[in-house]
C-alpha cells in the first residue's frame, strides 16, 4: 500500500514562508506568481493507519526553524514545490 504521509491541514507555501519569516525575523522574498491551482495530498489513509498527528503544525514549524537556525544537519535535497504533475 502506498500512503501519502502528509498532515491533515491544507497548508499554503506562501503562508508557511511568511511564518518562517516571522520566526527568523526576516521578510520572505517571493518571485514569479502563484498558480490558480494546487497539487494537494489526501492524508486520510495515513491518518487511518497512524492516527491524527500529535504535534501541531505551528510547533513543527518552530522546531524546524530552530534546527535551521542552529545549523542542524541537512540532506540538501530539492523540495520540488514547483512540481505540478505529481512526479517528484
The mean pLDDT of the chain is: 88
At residue 87, the pLDDT reads: 74
Q: For residues 2 and 46, is the Cβ–Cβ distance under 8 A?
A: no
Predicted pLDDT at 37: 83
What length does the chain have?
Answer: 88
What pTM did the predictor assign? Answer: 0.78
DSSP 8-63: SS---HHHHHHHHHHHHT------S---S-------HHHHHHH-S-SS-HHHHHHH
Amino acid at each position: 500500500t502506498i500512503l501519502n504521509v502528509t498532515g491533515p491541514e491544507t497548508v499554503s507555501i506562501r503562508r508557511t514562508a511568511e511564518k518562517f519569516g516571522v520566526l527568523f525575523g526576516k521578510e520572505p522574498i517571493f518571485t514569479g506568481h502563484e498558480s490558480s491551482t494546487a497539487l494537494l495530498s489526501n492524508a486520510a489513509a495515513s491518518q487511518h493507519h497512524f492516527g491524527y498527528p500529535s504535534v501541531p503544525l505551528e510547533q513543527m514549524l518552530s522546531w524546524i526553524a530552530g534546527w535551521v537556525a542552529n545549523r542542524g544537519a541537512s540532506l540538501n535535497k530539492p523540495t520540488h514545490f514547483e512540481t505540478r504533475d505529481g512526479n517528484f
